[in-house]
Structure 1
C-alpha cells in the first residue's frame, strides 16, 4: 500500500508541464545521441531524489522557512529560468549545429538541470506539502517503501521524457522542433514571471 500510494502521488505531481520537464524533453530531442543527454537526465533525477528525501525527512521545511534563503532561492530561480528560456529560444531544430552542441555541454546540462530542479520554490513547496505531508502517515519500512516509489517514478519519468524527445528529434525534419523550442521558451519564461509575481511580497 505505501509503495502504490507513492507511485500514484508522484505520477500526479510530475506529469504537469513545467520548466524541468520541458528542459529534459528538449535535451532528448536536441542531443545527437541519447547518451549525450544523460547528464541532464541524471542530474534532474538526482535533484528530485534529494528533494524527496529532504521532504520526507523534514529538512526542506527548515530551509524554505528562512526568509533570506527563500528570497535568494526565488531570485536565483527567476534568473536561471530567464537564461534557460533564452538559450532554448535561440536553439534550432533538427540536427544540432556545433554551436548548439557547445551550448549544451555535459557541464552546462548539469547546471541547467540543477537550476530548474532546485531553484524553484513552487516545486519545493509542492514536494514539502504533498510528499512530505503524505509521508507522515508512514514509519519505518512503510516510509522507506513510500520514498522508494516516489524516487522510482522520478527516474523512470525523466528517462522516458528524454527518450520521447529523442524519438521526435529523429522523426522531425526541423520545423516541428523549432516550433517546440519557441513554445518551450515561452513556457519557461512564463514560469519565471509567475514565480516572481507570486513571490513578490517575499523579496521586497
Structure 2
C-alpha cells in the first residue's frame, strides 16, 4: 500500500504540475486578490473537480477494463505515450505565451470558470482517465484506494499551495522564469512516471 501511495503522489504531482489554463487561473487569482481567503472559491472548485474526475476514472475505468486484457494493455500503452508526449510539450512550452493576466474574479465567477477549465478540459480528462485511471489497474483492494486517495490529496495540496505561492509572489516580472523552471521539473517527472509504467507493464 505504501508503494501505491507513493506512486499515486508522484503520478498526480507530475500530471498536475504543468502550466495550463487551470493552473494559470488559480495562480493568477492568488496573485491578484489582496486577501488569500478570497481565492478559496477557485481553490475548492478546482480541487473538488479533480477529486470527481479521479474518482470516476479509478472506479469506472477499472470496472470495465479489468476483465478485458487487450483493452487493459491498450489503455496502459496510451497512458505511457501520453506521458511522454505531454512531457515533451511541457519541456518546450513558454509560460509567457499563456500566462496572460486575469482580473480579480468575484466568487461566483471564480467557481464557474474554475469548473469549466477543470471538467471541460480535454487534457484534464486525458490525465485522469488516460493515465491515472489506467495506472490504477495495477492495484486492487486497499492498494487501489490508497493510490486514489494519494492522487486526490496531491491535487488538494497543490491548488492550495499554488494559490498561496501566487499570493506571495504577486505579479512580479520574475514569475515567468519561475513557471519555466516548474515546467522543466514537471516534464522530467512525467517522463520518470512513464518509465515506471513501462517497467511495471503487465
TM-score (norm 1): 0.63
Measured in 1, the distance between the counterparts of 2:39 and 2:63 equals 32
Aligned length: 141
**Preserved CA contact (<8 Å) 1:25 1:165:** yes
Matched ranges for 1:35-46 at <5 A: 35-46=37-48
Write out the 4+ residue segments of structure 1 that deviate beyond 2 Å after TM superposition. 59-62, 88-91
Secondary structure at the aligned position of 1:176 is classed as coil
**Preserved CA contact (<8 Å) 1:60 1:128:** no
**Preserved CA contact (<8 Å) 1:51 1:60:** no
Measured in 2, the distance between the counterparts of 1:8 and 1:122 equals 18
Cα RMSD (Å): 2.6
Secondary structure at the aligned position of 1:58 is classed as helix
Secondary structure at the aligned position of 1:116 is classed as helix
User: Cα deviation per residue 1:56-107 (whole Å; 9 max; x = unaligned)?
Assistant: 0126999xxxxxxxxxxxxxxxxxxxxxxxxx8575xxxxxxxx54xx1101
Which residue does the alignment assign to 2:129? Answer: 128
Which residue does the alignment assign to 2:168? Answer: 167
**Preserved CA contact (<8 Å) 2:28 2:101:** no
Structure 1's 60 and 43: CA in aligned 2 closer, same or farther, altered over 3 A? farther
Which residue does the alignment assign to 2:180? Answer: none
